[in-house]
Amino acid sequence: MELFNNKGKTAIVTGGGSGIGKTAAHTLAESGASVALIGRTAEKVEKAAAEISEATGSEVKGYSGDVTNTSDIERVVKTINNDFGQIDILVNNAGTAAFKDINSLTEDDWDTVMNTNAKSIFFMTQAVAPYMKEQSYGRIINTASVAGEVSLSFSSVYGTSKAAAIHQTKQLALELAPYNITVNAISPWFFKTDLNEEALADDSFRSAIEDRSPMKRLGQLEELQSSILYLASSGSSYVSGQNIFIDGGMTSYGL
């Protein structure tokens, strides 16, 4: 459908080398967009870019950059704009976690998680906004989490960072709405990625996650694609400041 065709658009995906970011990048490339992946490790994002490009036929490039560093953000966003000529879509997906409670969390843990999951959203958006304002068009998607809505016993700071991501979605949507730039978020429950693979290898932990999920299973990465495509396309032109839970009903769980 034409509403969900992103041919002629350019998308940036942070943390695009694996997991949810790679899924988002593949989805956007498949819809016709040219895609720039940003990640700390050049080899990883370049490999992912080559795989996605081969699979979809779209132009996909990898760029190394630290999205917690404002100088790095400014450099890589400027380079991407010069290479592609425009920036239409931004997926703020870079993320990390510290599976620790109040008794073991360190200041370094706090700073790393908050900078990666919350600070990067604001400053990546600040960097791309001028390009989007100039063309009076933009789609921004932030990867939040159900942990930003409900408390998880095994991570004090992760949920705090994702709550910040959800609120930033609302705040940035308000500020950028006059320029025809929408800002929305997706909040997944547990999908197996590099970030949580080790935790999910613990059978008791995985069972607890599955038991807490009304559908009694983890999410599959392809189940994120339709929401990402919707929020990235012209089909969502009057939707902004929203957060979509993709959680198998977890946040609606009652007794």
230 catalytic? Reply is no
pLDDT confidence tier of residue 192, bands split at 50, 70 and 90: confident
Query: Residue 132: inside a domain, yes or no?
Result: yes
Cα–Cα distance for residue pair 23/17, rounded to 1 Å:
9
Cα–Cα distance for residue pair 207/209, rounded to 1 Å:
5
Query: Residue 214: inside a domain, yes or no?
Result: no
Full-model pTM: 0.95
Burial class (CB in 10 A: 0-12, 13-18, 19+), 104: exposed
Q: What is the structure's pLDDT at 99?
A: 84
Query: Residue 157: inside a domain, yes or no?
Result: yes
pLDDT confidence tier of residue 71, bands split at 50, 70 and 90: very high
Query: Residue 240: inside a domain, yes or no?
Result: yes
Cα–Cα distance for residue pair 151/160, rounded to 1 Å:
9
The strand ranges marked E within 44-174 are 60-64, 89-92, 138-143
Q: What is the structure's pLDDT at 254?
A: 65
Number of H helices, E strands in the chain: 9, 7
**Residue 5 main-chain phi, psi, to 5 deg:** -95, 120
238's tokens: 């009057």
Query: Residue 52: inside a domain, yes or no?
Result: yes
Query: Residue 253: inside a domain, yes or no?
Result: no
Q: Partners of 63 in the beta sheet? A: 38
Q: Which residue has the higher pLDDT, 8 or 101?
A: 8
Which of the residue ranges 128-132, 145-149, 168-172 would you say has the lowest mean pLDDT? 145-149
Q: Please spell the DSSP secondary structure of 177-239, one letter per residue.
A: GGGTEEEEEEEE--B--TTTHHHHTSHHHHHHHHHHSTTSSPBPGGGGHHHHHHHHSGGGTT-
Residue 242 zone, left/alpha/beta (φ > 0; ψ -120 to 50; rest): beta
For residue 45, give its domain range: 2-193+221-246
Q: What is the mean pLDDT of the chain?
A: 95
Q: Partners of 187 in the beta sheet? A: 245
Counted domains in the chain? 1
Q: What is the structure's pLDDT at 253?
A: 81
Please report, for the domain that includes residue 158, its CATH number.
Answer: 3.40.50.720
Residue 105 has pLDDT above 80, yes or no: yes
Query: Residue 207: inside a domain, yes or no?
Result: no
Q: What is the structure's pLDDT at 1?
A: 66
Tell me the per-residue pLDDT of 5-18, one tens digit each, with 9 for 90 and over: 999 999 999 999 99
- Closest among 201, 205, 115, 111 to 154, alpha carbons compared: 205
Cα–Cα distance for residue pair 23/122, rounded to 1 Å:
22
Query: Residue 152: inside a domain, yes or no?
Result: yes
| Active-site residue, from 131, 158, 230, 238 | 158
